[in-house]
Amino acid sequence: MNISVAQFQPKDGDKTYNLSVMEALTEKAKSNGADLISFHEMSITAYTYTKDLSLEQVTDLAEEVPNGKSTQKLIAISKELNIPILAGLVEKSDGKIYNTYICVTGDGLVAKYRKIHPFISKYMSAGDEYCVFDLLGWKCGILICYDNNVIENVRATSLLGAEIIFAPHVTGCTPSAMPHRDYVADKYWQNRKNDPVSLRLEFDGPKGRRWLMRWLPARAYDNGVYYAFTNPIGYDGEHLKNGNSMVIDPYGEVLSEIKSFENDISISKITKEKIKLSGGWRYKNARRPELYKYIIGQNHESDTTPVWMNEKTEKN
């Protein structure tokens, strides 16, 4: 299967604009031989700015799935171009709001996943189930952004049969307790055409790609799965994001990656043969869950607040 990952700079709350960019990138992917395309977290609405929205504003932004206009627009694009599309939006259902990621084809909604560890808005509820579905002869899973940082989520999704995990993100270039993690200064972005090297060094250093490479390949390798990582490029809200959308194979190797500062795609060919040859596949079969099932399953109080949001709370 030829899988395409995308990246683009969204506009806050401008669904019409964001969907138009997504349509253009989907057309580009299809014309270059892709069998499907995956976009980043809340790609239809943009993400970071929702932290400052009131309940009324978040509710107005949210839509029903699959009957909302955005999902129906994606289905129409998918039908016209004959290619499955995966994308993120804000969903409302039964009085609750969710950070949701969907897969559609021209025939309608194929899968829907609600982020298990949401934190960007206090009005968003947490999803409560994993998602594995069939698409083009493959078993696919979805984990949104922070969900991938919790290794149990990845293992659970792979144990449910996922051969590829779609990992839509809005991440990177924010402060952390780790050394050299921080925001990227706006001057580098504004001067990207005259001095692309300086911006690339910022994006590919510990603030961006180098952080990703600490754990993304590990998730793929340890579980013997392909990983389709997507991330915006440029500004999402007031945060500059490094893109680096990529596909990683079950050996933990990067098959393709977007290094452009523009709205763009990358396409990778994935094959099932690698999965059963991978270390992760063998290690899953070597497990002895009787030794640790009660340890892993102990009650635990979850805290997902990132450092940069803690800093904002302290300042306020």
Query: Residue 315: is its pLDDT beyond 70?
Result: no
The arithmetic mean of pLDDT across residues 246-259, rounded, is: 98
pLDDT of residue 307: 81
**How far is it, in rounded angstroms, from Cα 173 to Cα 177?**
13
Say what percent of the chain tops pLDDT 70. Answer: 98
pLDDT of residue 230: 98
The arithmetic mean of pLDDT across residues 91-116, rounded, is: 98
**How far is it, in rounded angstroms, from Cα 117 to Cα 99?**
9
Backbone phi, psi, residue 50, to 5°: -70, -15
pLDDT in tens, 73-84: 999 999 999 999
Query: Residue 53: is its pLDDT beyond 70?
Result: yes
Q: How many domains does the chain have?
A: 1
Q: Which two tokens stand for residue 193?
A: 């055409």
- Given pLDDT bands bounded at 50, 70 and 90, which one contains residue 141? very high
pLDDT of residue 310: 74
pLDDT in tens, 157-214: 999 999 999 999 999 999 998 899 999 999 999 999 999 999 999 999 999 999 999 9
List the domain range (segments joined by +) for residue 34: 2-315
Which CATH number is 269's domain given?
A: 3.60.110.10
3-state secondary structure 9-39: CCCCCCHHHHHHHHHHHHHHHHHCCCCEEEC
Q: What is the longest distance spanned by two Cα atoms in the chain?
A: 59
pLDDT in tens, 269-289: 999 999 999 999 999 999 999
